[in-house]
Structure formats: C-alpha cells, structure tokens
Amino acid sequence: MMKAGLFTYHFSDNYGALMQAYALRKWFLGRGLKAEFINYHPAYVEEGGRFDHPWNPSLWRKNATILYMKLSQLRQLLFGDKSMCAGFESFRRDYLGIQDPALRNVEELRPIVAGYDMLVCGSDQIWNPSIQRGLDPAYFLDIPGAEAAHKVAYAPSFGRSEIEPEYREELNRLLSGLNSVSVREASGLDIIEAAGFPRDRVRVMPDPTILLDSFDTLIGPTTGDDGSVFAYVLRTDEVIREVATQAAQIVGGQLYAPRTTHQRWRDIGQGVAPGPVQWLAMLARSRLAVSNSFHGVALSVVLNKPFIAVALPGKRAGLNTRVQNLLKMTGLQARMIDTVDPDSIRRLTEAPIDWETTNNRLSAVRTQAEAYLDAEIAAARERSR
C-alpha cells in the first residue's frame, strides 16, 4: 500500500481548517492509499515563536506580533472554552488519525518523511508568509530526507492577492523543488508568475472540501432545515453582525453563531461552542448560512445550503479574493455583499439558488481535480518502483 504524508494546518482550532484536512485525507483513503498527517506544528503559527533580537528597533513589528500571539495563546489557555478545545482535540484524534507528538522544526521531520512514497502540501493558507517566519520550507516539502518522495502541492493558498517582493526569489526556489504545483485561487497564479516561476506549470485546484460531494459519513444525511440562521464569523464582526441579524429577522428563526478561539466581539445572536462535527451538522440543518469565512461559504455550497457571503471590510478586504474565486467558479457571485443594505439582505435571504446548475459546475471541477490527483498518484507509484 502506498503511503502519502500530508502537510496542512491540521492542528488549528478552527472549524474550516479541520474540515479541509478531513476532506483531503478522506479522499486519499478512498483511493486506497495509507494517508497520514505529518504532525508538523511549528510554534510560530499560533504561539508566535521565539522573539528575534528584541532590542533591535528594526524588528519591533515582528516582535510585537510575537508578543501579541503569545498573550492571545495565554488568554485562550486561561479563559478559553475548555469543552471547545477538547472537541477539536477529539476530532483530530478520531477523524484525522493524529496521535503522534507534535514536531516543531524541520530537522525533526527528516526521519519521518523518508518513509513516504508521496508527500502532499495542501490547502489552507500554508503559503502565506508570516511576519515571524516568512515562507516555511516545510510547507513546500523542502525537507531533508524527502528526496525519494513524489512531492505535490494540492491547492495551497497564499491567503491574499500578492506577497512582498522580498519573498519572490525564495518562493521561486521552493516551487522548483516540487514535482507538481497547484494553487487554490486564481490569484495565486499571479503571485507565482511575479516570482518568476512558469505560470503554465501551475494548475488551479479546488479546496479539499469540494473534493467530497458528501459529508454523510461525518454527519449523516440531512434533509430539510430547522428554521435557523447559522452565522460563522471570523476575524471581525463588522458588517456581518448586522447582516446576520437582519437575515434572522426576515427568516423568523433563531440566530446561532459558533464562538471561535480568537473571538474579540460579543456573541451574535445565541453564541454556541460545538465540536467540529456538531458545527457542520448545525450548518447543514440551518435554513440560511451567513459567513465571512472561506470555508463557511465553501461548505454551504457543498451542502447545498442557501447562504450569504459577507465581504471582510477595510484592511482585511484582501482576504476576500479566496471567496470571490470560489463564487466565480460556482457561478454564485451575486451571493456576496459588502455593505449592510436591507434590500440586498432581503433579496439574498429569499432568493432561491439553482442548485442543479451549481452542482453541475462543482461536479466538473471535482472531476478535473480527481484527474489531477490520480495522475500524481500514478507518478508516485511509478517513482517508487
């Protein structure tokens, strides 16, 4: 049996991150591979990492970010919802198969990656340079000991429409070490081309959640709705708070909003703290979903759940590219709003979605993605002979 090692943000206490990780592994398992997450969890991603010469004034932004992340992590440990954290941990164990200790640096990966026929870095914002670390070679599979493996990038995201020029040379080098490259958003092609890497060697592939045409094995079949509005809110409650509130008034049902580990705003409607499986079930049972999150929108589309996509405002607007690409791919661009406009909210709340056309589009995209991955599995199998 071929072994595939997966690299993504599987460790994040974030509903969307865990769902895309689940979908990616499940797809590979369905192809008969032994698919496992490499439990790489670098400290800089959520805990900030080490301070870098804190006495150096030129590094104040970097160290300020690290300090903020450390304080946020401490706040979560002291005051966070313990049951929510336990639910995330349980999901990683029971549905992602993660039991090994976390690996903190690239050197620890050397003996691990040597045992895989195929390595896949995939989806989520693993290629988004952080102020603490910049680009992380591990998420480009640039790892000592991995030379024998077939290396594939499946739909990773930069999380934005452009990156700083100082990263371009390194990005080109890291991409050149991969056997096959794809990105999640069309905007990623522009970033890669600006780095000097051939655009025609890169494919645009859908998020892993779209690889699965059903999540029945996770939540069972769902029909009908419970009349509720499900608001999945990340980063800010600006705009979306009022949109969700007005939508719930139009629907006439209860407004539920799952809390997040980094929430800095008061609850929208009735705040809840479900585990990942319960979170997905609540979305599936609702009458309407309202979200400013990529995965909140993506899963609404996959589950054929009527939704309103709310654009992130202000300095976060660059993150909207991910949702815009998804909506363009599915022909649902009109489902996104960026202001609190009562007429638009009512129209989107009441307007039906042509799910047959949408599902046909999803099926075509899914077929292309499966052909791409099947070809890479065949190449990995040939390489391992």
Q: What is the pLDDT of residues 265-274, one digit of tens each?
A: 999 999 999 9
Domains of the chain and CATH, by start: 3-212+364-384 (3.40.50), 216-353 (3.40.50.2000)
Contact 139, 175 (CB under 8 A): no
Per-residue pLDDT tens digits for 135-164:
999 999 999 999 999 999 999 999 888 899
The predicted structure's pLDDT at residue 85 = 85
Residue 231 has pLDDT above 70, yes or no: yes
The predicted structure's pLDDT at residue 269 = 97
Contact 119, 141 (CB under 8 A): yes
Q: How confident is the model at residue 131 (pLDDT cuts 50, 70, 90)?
A: confident
Residue 241 has pLDDT above 70, yes or no: yes
Residue 346 has pLDDT above 90, yes or no: yes
In terms of Cβ atoms closer than 10 Å to its own Cβ (0-12, 13-18, 19+), residue 47 is middle
The predicted structure's pLDDT at residue 177 = 97
Q: How confident is the model at residue 258 (pLDDT cuts 50, 70, 90)?
A: very high
Helix H or strand E segment including 25? helix 15-30
Quickly tell me which residue has 């980094």 as its tokens: 262
What interhelical angle do 15-30 and 294-302 show, nearest 10? 50
Residue 308 has pLDDT above 70, yes or no: yes
In angstroms, how far is CA 53 from the centroid of its own chain? Answer: 32
| 135 φ/ψ sector (left φ>0, alpha ψ -120 to 50, else beta) | beta
Task: Give CA–CA dist 133/337, Å, rounded.
Answer: 34
The predicted structure's pLDDT at residue 264 = 87
The arithmetic mean of pLDDT across residues 271-297, rounded, is: 96
Q: How confident is the model at residue 27 (pLDDT cuts 50, 70, 90)?
A: very high
Pick the closest to residue 69 from 335, 235, 265, 262 (CA basis). Answer: 262
The arithmetic mean of pLDDT across residues 11-18, rounded, is: 93
The predicted structure's pLDDT at residue 79 = 67
Residue 334 has pLDDT above 70, yes or no: yes
Residue 197 has pLDDT above 90, yes or no: yes
Residue 76 has pLDDT above 80, yes or no: no
Average pLDDT score, the chain:
93
Residue 82 has pLDDT above 80, yes or no: no
Residue 77 has pLDDT above 80, yes or no: no
Task: Give CA–CA dist 56/38, Å, rounded.
Answer: 35
Q: How confident is the model at residue 31 (pLDDT cuts 50, 70, 90)?
A: very high
The predicted structure's pLDDT at residue 65 = 77
For the beta sheet containing 229-232, the strands, ordered from the edge strand earlier in sequence to the opposite edge, are 270-272, 255-258, 229-232, 288-291, 307-310, 336-337
Neighbours of 314 (CB within 10 A): 8
User: Which pTM does this prediction carry?
Assistant: 0.92
The arithmetic mean of pLDDT across residues 11-33, rounded, is: 95
